[in-house]
Amino acid sequence: MKTAHRFDEVLEFVPPAQARLLERIARTAAERAQPIHLVGGPVRDLLLGRALRDLDLLVEGDARALAEAVVRAHPEIGLRLESHARFGTLRLASAEAELDVAGTRRERYERPGALPEVESGSLEEDVGRRDFSVNALVLPLDAAAPSRACEVVDLVGGIPDLAAGRLRVLHGRSFHDDPTRAFRGARLAVRLGFKFERRSRTALRDALRDGAFGAVSGERFRRELVMVFEEPRRGVDAGRVLALLSETHVLSALEPGLVLPRDRQAPLRRLSRSIETPEWPVARWRPWLAGLSIWLAPLPVVTRRRTLERLSIRGEQAARIFRFANEGERTLRALAKARGRGAVDALLSELGEETIQAVFALADVAIRRRMLRWGAEDRRRRAPVVGTDLVELGIQGPDVGRGLARIRAAFLDGEIANREEALVLALELARRAARSANRGAARRGKKRGAVAPGDAILDTAPRRGRKAPAADSRTDPDPASAPRSSEPEPESKTGPKTESISGSKSDKKLESEQGARTEPT
């Protein structure tokens, strides 16, 4: 393992835009005679011969003064200086790249799981506050003599650990101070093929036993999980990282019962491949949301809900992850039954990108093949007509959306090929919509005509077991409200019975009784 590197050699491992910014910073530091170092993960990757991505620069002396000097020295590139005072870090950013710069610091933790309190310190103190020995390596950068090799500074035995493939914490309470180091360690272990050494495993078990993970906010753990699902961009299987966290009981420390089911590992591996190399052109999306949807779907409802609460995932994001357990299975069943490209498009076009990616990762080979064709071809195709074309033909309201969906499905299935054929289909849809509207209006008209005007009919429906209302002895009874027999009256040979109300037998009897009461004695 080569442990001495020239400055111009370092620049070859850095992306061009970052290399130009790094060179400007290092030259300004050399002019000010201010020592500057590459530190942490970039040094580790440089020794392993891996490309450098995120660069961290460590400055001895006043880091802010150096950053401001760089901004003044290069006004032509419009550098921005961002400060994170709580952690003592600075960020220099141009239109094409950004680098983090910090002075040497020391830190202390008020309680397990708390954010550190940071203050200025020495180079040795800065190295001693880091998570793992392989991340505590320092490489001086000498822009004044770019061809001179500088030896890596190793104060904690990181180079032997790097050669042996070991992850070692720097002290026994490292995971007590910052439990999120367990997530960073899992990512490194899978990415580099390393293993936790024995005392580090013991330190992790002690932190789990002492409940140190309970003191960390959900937001911090959520950020760590977001980074787990960024690992595939480095060629890492996110499912393997989660499996390691599950095996070491870190996941169950977040929420009892939280594990990675074995049947989720293959879908997460497919999702990781899609993150690294997208299967179809796609805009920005959130891999972690798709990953959590796949991971949590088979877990009990209570575990899912409490996990989302523990990770401080709320609102629409939480709703999408939570309902994927049902939505994903329903979509897979519908895709298996879908006939034609238009039917597949109708199912997928309404889903968010994260849900589509999660469904793809869970699907079998046949469904994935159909989804690949949709993503690569059908998704970007546009139907030959738009909504205004249908409105001009007289189609209104929800019928416009339904018509467009029908035309798009016909277009994708090859039933129509151009605008003229689409307009013919649109005319047919317009005629159908008009006939449907006319039938609806006719039905409504019949319903209105069936109701008699005024008070001609008070109650024509026979009611089973209905009692007649008691007659008021002070007034004449209302014949229309009297109960009627459910049996039809017999008809005469000349037609139905039409006897008048005044001529009825009951009325004659009533008149004779009233006459008897009023006749003088």
Write out pLDDT tens, residues 250-280. Answer: 999 999 999 999 999 999 999 999 999 999 9
In the predicted model, is pLDDT for residue 498 greater than 80?
no
Per the CB < 8 A criterion, the answer to whether 210 and 173 are in contact is: no
Q: Distance (Å, rounded) from C-alpha 104 to C-alpha 120?
A: 6
Q: What is the pLDDT of residues 406-426, one digit of tens each?
A: 899 999 999 888 888 888 888
92: left (phi over 0), alpha (psi -120 to 50) or beta: beta
Element of type H or E holding 107: strand 105-108
In the predicted model, is pLDDT for residue 127 greater than 90?
yes
Q: What is the pLDDT of residues 316-325, one digit of tens each?
A: 999 999 999 9
Per the CB < 8 A criterion, the answer to whether 195 and 126 are in contact is: no
Instruction: Decide the pairing of beta strands 89-93 and 80-84.
Output: antiparallel
At residue 188, the pLDDT reads: 97
Return the percentage of the chain with pLDDT > 70, whole number: 84
Shortest CA distance to 463 belongs to which of 478, 476, 481? 481
Per the CB < 8 A criterion, the answer to whether 238 and 205 are in contact is: no
217-381: CATH topology: cca-adding enzyme, domain 2 (1.10.3090)
Query: What is the pTM assigned to this prediction?
Result: 0.79
Mean pLDDT of 361-377: 95
Shortest CA distance to 270 belongs to which of 294, 286, 246, 289? 294
In the predicted model, is pLDDT for residue 484 greater than 50?
no
In the predicted model, is pLDDT for residue 76 greater than 50?
yes
Mean pLDDT of 99-128: 88
Q: Which residues pair with 84 in a beta bridge?
A: 89
At residue 290, the pLDDT reads: 97
In the predicted model, is pLDDT for residue 505 greater than 70?
no
- CA 441 distance to own-chain centroid: 45
At residue 112, the pLDDT reads: 80
Instruction: Identify which has the larger pLDDT, 74 or 429.
Output: 74
Q: Distance (Å, rounded) from C-alpha 7 to C-alpha 265?
A: 42
Q: Distance (Å, rounded) from C-alpha 515 to C-alpha 519?
A: 6
Per the CB < 8 A criterion, the answer to whether 99 and 74 are in contact is: no
Considering only CA atoms, give the Rg of the chain: 40
* Mean pLDDT for all residues in the chain: 85
Residue 491 carries which DSSP code?
P
Q: Which residues pair with 103 in a beta bridge?
A: 59
Domain segments of the chain: what residues? 1-161, 217-381, 384-438
pLDDT classification of 200: cutoffs 50, 70, 90? very high
Look at 90-104, 368-382, 428-442, 444-458 and tell me which has the smallest mean pLDDT: 444-458
In the predicted model, is pLDDT for residue 134 greater than 70?
yes
Q: Distance (Å, rounded) from C-alpha 98 to C-alpha 104?
A: 20
Look at 157-161, 292-296, 306-310, 429-433 and tell me which has the smallest mean pLDDT: 429-433
1-161: CATH topology: Beta Polymerase; domain 2 (3.30.460)
Q: Which residues pair with 149 in a beta bridge?
A: 6
Q: Which residue has the tokens 């020495």?
A: 122
At residue 203, the pLDDT reads: 97
- Two structure tokens written together for 244: 């390691």
Q: Distance (Å, rounded) from C-alpha 231 to C-alpha 190?
A: 10
- CA 333 distance to own-chain centroid: 21
Q: Distance (Å, rounded) from C-alpha 29 to C-alpha 141?
A: 9
Residue 381 carries which DSSP code?
-
Q: Distance (Å, rounded) from C-alpha 27 to C-alpha 34?
A: 10
User: For the chain, what percentages of helix, strand and coil (3-state, to nearest 5) are there?
Assistant: 55, 10, 35
Mean pLDDT of 330-355: 94
Instruction: Identify which has the larger pLDDT, 195 or 436.
Output: 195
pLDDT classification of 447: cutoffs 50, 70, 90? low
At residue 451, the pLDDT reads: 52
Instruction: Decide the pairing of beta strands 98-103 and 56-59.
Output: parallel
- Kindly tell me the burial class for residue 521, based on how many C-beta atoms sit within 10 Å of its own C-beta (0-12, 13-18, 19 or more): exposed
Q: Which residue has the tokens 């500057």?
A: 36
Instruction: Identify which has the larger pLDDT, 247 or 398.
Output: 247
Shortest CA distance to 13 belongs to which of 101, 155, 141, 106? 141
Return the percentage of the chain with pLDDT > 90, whole number: 63
In the predicted model, is pLDDT for residue 27 greater than 60?
yes
At residue 449, the pLDDT reads: 59
Instruction: Identify which has the larger pLDDT, 343 or 87.
Output: 343
Backbone angles phi, psi at 479, to 5 degrees: -60, -30
